[in-house]
Amino acid sequence: MAVHAHPDDESSKGAATMAKYVSEGVDVLVVTCTGGERGSILNPKLQGDTYIEENIHEVRRKEMDEAREILGVSQEWLGFVDSGLPEGDPLPPLPEGCFALEDVETAAARLVRSIRSFRPQVITTYDENGGYPHPDHIMTHKITMVAFDGAADAERFPEDEYGPVFQPQKLYYNQGFNRPRTVALHEALLARGMESPYGEWLERWKEFERAERTLTTYVPCGDFFEIRDKALIAHATQIDPDGGWFRVPLELQREVWPTEEYELAKSLVDTSLPEDDLFAGIRENA
């Protein structure tokens, strides 16, 4: 189960990993917390389209349907309302009724129901910083942490309301946008005399002085990068197919960095680090 904040997050974070496991016969469910209603139209080719602007919720649902089909996963909506990304100094208040203002325990209850129904052995989500500090990403982290433990707690979440208890065995944070990967691709592009889209990223990293995350798990999935990119392009309002996401040739990505990375946050099974499989420690005991 991959728990994400908005439609398109599943295609930009861990999509090749999901496609790889689908190809192996693993059941994969994407849980999307919000409808992305307050997301901006980031593709310049679609900006100014009145129909899209007036029907963004419906459009983004259709984009999600297409991406889901490309990845071969199942998908469900938790039904919360996008909080938007507040900008300014000071930051404006979040809109009333949005996901980030929900009570964490109450919001987690919906995810508990999904976990008990789907019964995943592995769950992926964001770290405590949300991957980046979008309020919906941070809230997604919060409810996933509660639900991971709460799914096995019948007193906290009664079975007659949320279904029979179930305990997932491992929880991971997506860490695909990590500094080692970015540096490796940046240097490989420059060494080949090619322009790199990562120069500004690396400069911003210096400005933020973010602590490096612990990468524990490197899933080999280079053969599925093309599927990942197709799923991402399906989110047409969010992704410019001629933008920076796609400036690094797939052949170079597969040669230099053919994995997607995760941080193991919780494990109820024995495993040794680093891993190359989200199911390490689970397959051996299956």
Q: Please enumerate, by residue number, every residue annotated as part of a binding site for Zn(2+).
A: 6, 9, 137
How many CB atoms are closer than 10 A to CB 243?
12
Q: Which of 109, 91, 200 is nearest to 149 (CA)?
A: 109
- The neighbouring-strand residues paired with 29 are 74
Q: How far is CA 93 from CA 57, 97, 100, 137, 159, in A?
A: 22, 12, 11, 17, 36
Torsion region of 256: left, alpha or beta (phi above 0 gives left; psi -120 to 50 gives alpha)? alpha
Distances (CA, A) of 211 to 95, 110, 129, 140: 30, 32, 11, 21
- Angle between helix 56-71 and 15-23 (nearest 10): 40
Place of tokens 């919720």: 57
Whose tokens are 């769950």? That residue is: 123
In angstroms, rounded to a whole number, what is the distance separating the alpha carbons of residues 81 and 249? 36
Distance between start and end Cα atoms, the chain:
18
Provide φ and ψ at 34, rounded to 5°: -125, 170
**Annotated binding residues, as ranges?**
6, 9, 137
